[in-house]
Amino acid sequence: MNSRTLVAAGLSAIATIAGASAASAQNRVKFDYWYGLTGQLGEVMALHCKRFNDSQTRFEAVCTGQGGYDKAEQNTIAAFRSRQHPTIVQIYDAGTVNFMLSGATYNAVNFVKDFNMKVKWDDFFPGISNYYATSKGEMWSFPYNSSTALLYFNKDHFAKVGQNEAPKTIESWFDTVRKIKAGGHAETGFCFDFDTWMPLEQFSAIHNLPIATRNNGYDGLDAEMTFNKTKFADYMKDWKKLLDEGAAKIQTAQTGKTILQAFADGSCSTMLSSVANHGVMHSTAKQGLNWGVGMLPVYAGTERKNSLVGGASLWVMAGKSKEEYEAAAAFLDFVLSTPEVKWMPTVTGYIPITQSAFKALDNEGFYGQPDKQGREIAMQSLTFTPPTPISRGIRLGNFTQIRAEIRSELEAAFTGKKDMQAALDEAVSRSNGILRRFEQTFRGKQLP
Amino acid sequence: MDRRATFKSTWLAFALIAPQLILVFIFFYWPAAQSLFWALTLEAPFGGATQFVGLQNFETVFSDKLYWNSVRVSILFALSSTTLTMVMALLLASFVDRQLAGYRVYRFVYFWPYAIAAPAVGLAFRFIFAPDAGFVSSINKVFPNLWNPALDGLDAFILIVIANSWKMIAYSFIFFLAGLQAIPRTITEAAAMDGAGVLRRLWDLQLPLLAPTFFFLLVINITESFVDSFGIVDIITGGGPARATDLMVFKIYSDGFKGLDYSMAAAQSIVLMVLVVSLTFVQFRYVEKRVHYA
């Protein structure tokens, strides 16, 4: 490139920048919003932005998908370090601790006050707001897309062994799984992967079992893992037994079919999955697949508690201009308004996050619609009891990495390379290593 | 014979190599220095309040038996992948060099795999070798549970070796072919007239003359297997099952970017760098002595 073209290119770039800023000055106030969801749910996120942008003329949300929840968190951190971060970001449940301790956010309680937002905190379901709240009960982020786990079962397979409804207890569930396999009614009675969310986190919540001390970490960064000594260990041993008997099967993307695909094509009779996949199942199940959902089963004799909320919340980041914050406040008020909270469950499997939106949907007969039947079970599960200090949630540092450690140990145990109890003990000691390192990294900081 | 050109003024020499030096500085020395700094500190994800912790990160890394597992897997991976790559590439190159039927097409298409991004290679291999649904699943219909990279660590390891080699064969192939074609025809023809068969000519003439190419590819392949295998592992196995394919470079990624523990990842990067540098040193010190440049 010679010097003249270089100068010309430079001038045109300056002209473009100047032109763009002149244009935006006349136009609406823009702010950046990054989301993590991908695929069909990612499209819904983009659509939600469009609904906001179409709804008014002052502000404009510039929404960018980051290609996954973990990527959204990584990219926001990298962007924050170079001061290029968005105003609002969607962060999944497991990233909550990092953001609370980051010093990089504008906490939601103050944000609502400072920008006169309409959000009513007590309208959120307690199971949802408690999960994201600080130990003092303050909200630092805005609950958004929320789900919980359910048991999906194939009604035809169940009918063949004389069962007409979802199993209430783990004993009867496993009994049915064995009968289905023994009778040859399905390729496998139960398929699972190594995701810890259903078997560890949800299971422990509904059984009111701690996975870590200090109320699952809410009370301090010095929590220690304890799940290897609870009934969770027996639960995993029971899974292993089913696997060894051939009644259950491991299904992952690496084996060729995920649990969702195996359930959708009828080769597997039961699976544990998020209610967010309720919509996905309706669109991907093979023709005539007769399926239903139930609450996650509990061991007989257990006093069931509420299940955990999953999904993501919206964080407002620090260091933005007043105009951008006003735009962000308008956006948050919009997406958390009752009509919009009602809209979300109609286009996804997510649950309505506020009590008023749920009542309105229920009154309109939403849960009676054929393709929405069973969605109310997620609400029952989430609100089964008021959250206890244990069933409230999990607040552990670097939880993504802890999940990965547990996953690796479960892989070793389920593939027969290790005894289940030895694997869980190892998972606990490794997770504690991660927690201690996290505690040291944030030395002198307190969980809010 | 001394063929070196000499500059009278040193500033001209520096000016001429400056662009290269600046690039090396920006893309190598600077990040390496930054890693070293992080490796000696505890860095919070969002920055700020960095604590100096001396060698604690290295102590943690070296006392972790799973880290040593990762080192072991990486070395095995580099050795098997390099061997498979070099043997296959040499075989294909000598076929093409012998102008077997269709060699013009092969000469052209064998290079393609190298142009495919590693994650795309990974996705393709994951589908093809999926035990339930892939093309290779028919093996499991005949011999149940023979092939299952999702659950069997050895199968998963074999799969990433094959995928990585498939990509690297393409690269090595071009160099071997160029090397073979640079050997004067008169030499091979003379040998043929003396009655040497194809294998004899390959073993006694072409291979020794290929030694410089061979050495170059050995260094490149080993280095690439250590530092560039991440995309394939991430897509095909995600380091599993049960850490059977947890290569060092993948562990750095998962600790650093997934776990947001930049300090631990930096310490591991330094170890990986030292390992690759010393392997390369060993190769130049001992293997290169046996190489005769024409």
Q: Strand order in A291-294's β-sheet?
A: A248-250, A188-192, A268-274, A149-154, A291-294
Decide: A357 and A125 in contact? Cβ < 8 Å.
Answer: no
Per-residue confidence (pLDDT) for residue A22, from 0 to 100 = 44
Going through B27-102 in order, the beta strands assigned E by DSSP cover 41-42, 51-52
pLDDT at A23 over 60: no
Residue B223 domain-assigned (yes or no):
yes
Question: In chain B, how long is the greatest CA-to-CA distance?
Answer: 76
Residue B213 domain-assigned (yes or no):
yes
Identify the closest residue of chain B to A83 by CA–CA distance: B46
Sign of CA dihedral A47, A48, A49, A51: positive
Fold for A30-147+310-364, please state it.
D-Maltodextrin-Binding Protein; domain 2 (3.40.190)
Q: Report residue A74's pLDDT band, with 50, 70 and 90 as the boundaries.
A: very high
B150 → closest Cβ in A255, A398, A407: A255
Degrees to nearest 5, angle at CA B246 with B243 and B248: 145
Q: Residue A351 and residue A358: Cα distance in Å, rounded?
A: 8
* C-alpha distance from residue B273 to each of A201, B220, B277 (Å): 38, 15, 6
Decide: B53 and B40 in contact? Cβ < 8 Å.
Answer: yes
Give the percent of chain A with pLDDT over 70.
94
Query: pLDDT tens digit string along A48-62?
Result: 999 999 998 999 999
Query: pLDDT tens digit string along A116-175?
Result: 999 999 999 998 999 999 988 899 999 999 999 999 999 999 999 999 999 999 999 999
Residues of A in contact with B42 (CB under 8 A): 440-441
User: Would you give the DSSP letter of residue A230?
Assistant: S
Chains A, B: CB contacts within 8 A come to 106
pLDDT at B1 over 70: no
Q: Report residue A26's pLDDT band, with 50, 70 and 90 as the boundaries.
A: low
Q: Where are the domains of chain A?
A: 30-147+310-364, 149-307+380-392+399-428
Per-residue confidence (pLDDT) for residue A15, from 0 to 100 = 47
One-letter amino acid at A414 equals: F
- The whole-chain average pLDDT of chain B stands at 89
Identify the closest residue of chain B to A85 by CA–CA distance: B46
Decide: B256 and B262 in contact? Cβ < 8 Å.
Answer: yes
B residues 45..74 contacting A (CB < 8 A): 45-49, 51, 60, 66
Q: Report residue B2's pLDDT band, with 50, 70 and 90 as the boundaries.
A: low
When pLDDT is averaged across residues B168-176 and rounded to a whole number, the result is 93
Please name the residue that has the structure tokens 């370090």: A81
Q: How many CB atoms sit inside 10 A of residue A59's CB?
A: 21
Q: Residue A242 and residue B56: Cα distance in Å, rounded?
A: 43
Inter-chain touch B47–A80, beta carbons under 8 Å: yes
Identify the closest residue of chain A to B61 by CA–CA distance: A433
Residue B9 domain-assigned (yes or no):
no
State the residue range of the domain holding B132.
Answer: 65-248+279-287
Q: Residue A275 and residue A281: Cα distance in Å, rounded?
A: 10
Identify the closest residue of chain A to B236 by CA–CA distance: A254
Inter-chain touch A254–B150, beta carbons under 8 Å: yes
When pLDDT is averaged across residues B135-163 and rounded to a whole number, the result is 87
Q: Residue A237 and residue A215: Cα distance in Å, rounded?
A: 25
Q: Report residue B258's pLDDT band, with 50, 70 and 90 as the boundaries.
A: confident
Between A81 and B142, the higher pLDDT residue: A81
pLDDT at A6 over 60: no
Inter-chain touch B46–A74, beta carbons under 8 Å: no
Decide: A204 and A210 in contact? Cβ < 8 Å.
Answer: yes
- Round to the nearest angstrom and report the end-to-end CA distance of chain A: 56
Q: Complex ipTM above 0.90?
A: no
Task: Of A366-375, A399-408, A420-429, give the range with the top mean pLDDT.
Answer: A420-429
**Radius of gyration of chain A measured on its C-alpha atoms:** 24
Closest CA to A442 of A98, A138, A96, A211: A98
User: Would you give the DSSP letter of residue A66?
Assistant: -
- Residue A70, classed as helix, strand or coil, is helix
Residue B35 domain-assigned (yes or no):
no
Inter-chain touch A441–B60, beta carbons under 8 Å: no
Both tokens assigned to A17: 């920048």
Both tokens assigned to B270: 């330094």
A residues 45..104 contacting B (CB < 8 A): 70, 73-74, 77, 80-81, 98, 101-104
Q: Kindly report the three-state secondary structure assignment for every residue of A7-42.
A: HHHHHHHHHHHHHHHHHHHHCCEEEEEEECCCHHHH
| Phi-psi map region of A276: left, alpha, beta (phi>0 left; psi -120 to 50 alpha) | alpha
B residues 10..49 contacting A (CB < 8 A): 42-49
Query: pLDDT tens digit string along A220-278?
Result: 999 999 999 999 999 999 999 999 999 999 998 888 889 999 999 999 999 999 999 99
Helix H or strand E encompassing B56:
helix B56-62
Q: Report residue A25's pLDDT band, with 50, 70 and 90 as the boundaries.
A: very low
Give the percent of chain B with pLDDT over 90.
48
pLDDT at B257 over 50: yes
When pLDDT is averaged across residues B62-66 and rounded to a whole number, the result is 92
Query: pLDDT tens digit string along A363-378?
Result: 999 999 988 989 999 9
Between B8 and B27, the higher pLDDT residue: B27
Q: Residue A37 and residue B237: Cα distance in Å, rounded?
A: 22
Torsion of CA B94, B97, B101, B105, to 10 degrees: 100
Beta strands A188-192 and A268-274 are: parallel
Instruction: State pTM to two decimals.
Output: 0.86
Residue B133 domain-assigned (yes or no):
yes
User: Would you give the DSSP letter of residue A215?
Assistant: H
B260 → closest Cβ in A98, A256, A443: A98
Between B108 and B72, the higher pLDDT residue: B72
pLDDT at B4 over 80: no
Least reliable range by pLDDT among A154-163, B69-78, B114-123, B268-277:
B114-123
Both tokens assigned to A175: 């009994």
Least reliable range by pLDDT among A23-27, B79-83, B95-99:
A23-27
Residues of A in contact with B60 (CB under 8 A): 437
Nearest chain A CA: its distance from B137 CA (Å): 9
Per-residue confidence (pLDDT) for residue B85, from 0 to 100 = 96
Closest CA to A407 of A192, A93, A191, A195: A195
B residues 252..271 contacting A (CB < 8 A): 254-255, 257-261, 263-264
Inter-chain touch A401–B258, beta carbons under 8 Å: yes
Per-residue confidence (pLDDT) for residue B265, from 0 to 100 = 93
Q: Mind giving me the DSSP string for B2-36?
A: ------S-HHHHHHHHHHHHHHHIIIIIHHHHHHH
Residues of B in contact with A104 (CB under 8 A): 46
Q: Residue A265 and residue A256: Cα distance in Å, rounded?
A: 13
Q: Mind giving me the DSSP string for B259-283?
A: S--HHHHHHHHHHHHHHHHHHHHHI
Inter-chain touch B132–A256, beta carbons under 8 Å: yes
Does domain A149-307+380-392+399-428 fall under CATH 3.40.1180.10? My reply is no
Least reliable range by pLDDT among B5-14, B74-83, B154-163:
B5-14
Helix H or strand E encompassing A190:
strand A188-192
Closest CA to A61 of A70, A45, A50: A50
For residue A272, list its beta bridge partners: A151
- Fold agreement between A30-147+310-364 and A149-307+380-392+399-428: yes
A404 → closest Cβ in B134, B237, B254: B254
Residues of A in contact with B260 (CB under 8 A): 73-74, 77, 98, 398, 400-401
Inter-chain touch B151–A250, beta carbons under 8 Å: yes
Both tokens assigned to B208: 């020794």
- Could you tell me how far CA A101 lies from the centroid of its own chain? 20
Domain CATH for B83: 1.10.3720.10
Main-chain phi, psi angles of A386, to 5 degrees: -65, 145
User: Would you give the DSSP letter of residue A371?
Assistant: G
Please name the residue that has the structure tokens 């597997």: A268
Total domains present in chain B: 1
Please name the residue that has the structure tokens 């295998």: B229
Between A307 and B188, the higher pLDDT residue: A307
Where does B98-227 have alpha helices with state H?
103-109, 112-115, 118-128, 137-142, 153-182, 185-193, 198-201, 207-227
User: Would you give the DSSP letter of residue A248?
Assistant: E
Whether cis (ω within 30° of 0) applies to the bond prior to B241 is: yes
Inter-chain touch A253–B264, beta carbons under 8 Å: no
Per-residue confidence (pLDDT) for residue A244, from 0 to 100 = 95
Q: Report residue B294's pLDDT band, with 50, 70 and 90 as the boundaries.
A: low
Least reliable range by pLDDT among A157-161, A189-193, B224-228:
B224-228
Inter-chain touch A443–B237, beta carbons under 8 Å: no
Q: Report residue A1's pLDDT band, with 50, 70 and 90 as the boundaries.
A: very low
Inter-chain touch B260–A400, beta carbons under 8 Å: yes
Inter-chain touch B43–A256, beta carbons under 8 Å: no
Nearest chain B CA: its distance from A84 CA (Å): 13
Q: Residue A315 and residue A98: Cα distance in Å, rounded?
A: 12
Nearest chain A CA: its distance from B268 CA (Å): 16
Per-residue confidence (pLDDT) for residue A49, from 0 to 100 = 96
A254 → closest Cβ in B44, B130, B261: B130
